[in-house]
Amino acid sequence: MSDAKAEPLADPVRQLVAEAWTFRRQVELDAELRFTRLAGQLAQLGAPEALVSLAGRAAEDERRHAGMCELLARAYGRVDMPPAPLAAEEVAPAGMALRERVLYEVVAACCITETESTAVLTTLLVPEGAPRVRAVLRDILRDEVAHSRLGWAWLSHEHGAGTVSFLSRHVPSMLEGTASPRLFAPGAPEEESPALLKHGVLPHTRKRETFVRALRDVVFPGLERFGVDTAPARAWVERRSAAGA
Ligand SMILES: [Fe+2]
Ligand SMILES: [Fe+2]
């Protein structure tokens, strides 16, 4: 890729970039399967047609994102792609009724994960970024904003239909599922390299700061608007931050 070659990257950094885009491809493929399932479940629950088709479109978007991530991963030297996931793991605890299970998954996948993704992509869109990387980031960002809105729209719908306060005690597990296990631990020196930023990867400390800021500025206030108490989630952030420091 001309952008990647224009400025030679130290090998460990290039490898991290290739790994990050490969990992994103897997996440996008997983999201495609999840949105496909959610579109069917939302229809089953009698969701407004606009939301069902938004979920269907989201699945298509994710497949396209996966393709763009794969191209970038290869441009940075990745040769073999891991096998595509066959099914998206159910995130809600076993035994929940369909309506609660879908709300749980939509909040985890859209209100939390897609909002986090939007924050990361926005932070990554630095003017000095490689042009091809910026084009992909912009394209993905536009869609992820819509995917996040789908979550808030369904939460609002369900809030109008009854109580959604049961979510409160589950938000820490949702966060646990979204944050990488190493997010709050110190990163290796190459993971802190400022060179990563131009190639679409946040240095480790930036990644953690972006994650926590998006929770405090967007996700928590959003949940509170619908009467979801965020005290357990805020305590989770404090606990994980203290443990990682
Ligand atoms: Fe995506
Ligand atoms: Fe998405």
- AA identity, residue 105: E
Predicted pLDDT of residue 7: 61
How far, in Å, from the CA of 12 to the mean position of ligand 2? 28
How far, in Å, from the CA of 119 to the mean position of ligand 2? 12
CATH number for the domain including 66?
Answer: 1.20.1260.10
Whether the Cβ atoms of residue 160 and residue 31 lie closer than 8 Å to each other? no
How far, in Å, from the CA of 35 to the mean position of ligand 2? 9
Predicted pLDDT of residue 3: 46
How far, in Å, from the CA of 65 to the mean position of ligand 1? 5
How far, in Å, from the CA of 54 to the mean position of ligand 1? 13
pLDDT, one tens digit for every residue, the chain (245 residues): 444 445 678 888 999 999 999 999 999 999 999 999 999 999 999 999 999 999 999 999 999 999 999 999 999 999 999 999 999 999 999 999 999 999 999 999 999 999 999 999 999 999 999 999 999 999 999 999 999 999 999 999 999 998 899 999 999 999 999 998 899 999 999 999 999 999 999 999 999 999 999 999 999 999 999 999 999 999 999 999 998 87
How far, in Å, from the CA of 144 to the mean position of ligand 2? 4
Domain that residue 129 falls in: 2-244
Domain count, the chain: 1
How far, in Å, from the CA of 74 to the mean position of ligand 1? 18
Burial of 198 (0-12, 13-18, 19+ CB in 10 A): buried
What crossing angle do the helices spanning 204-214 and 115-124 adopt, rounded to 10°? 130
What ligand has the least distance to the C-alpha of 140? 1
Longest dimension (CA), the chain: 56
Whether the Cβ atoms of residue 134 and residue 125 lie closer than 8 Å to each other? yes
How far, in Å, from the CA of 159 to the mean position of ligand 1? 26
Whether the Cβ atoms of residue 21 and residue 200 lie closer than 8 Å to each other? yes
pTM above 0.85, yes or no: yes
With tokens 């073999």, the residue in question is 80
> How far apart are alpha carbons 66 and 26 in whole angstroms?
7
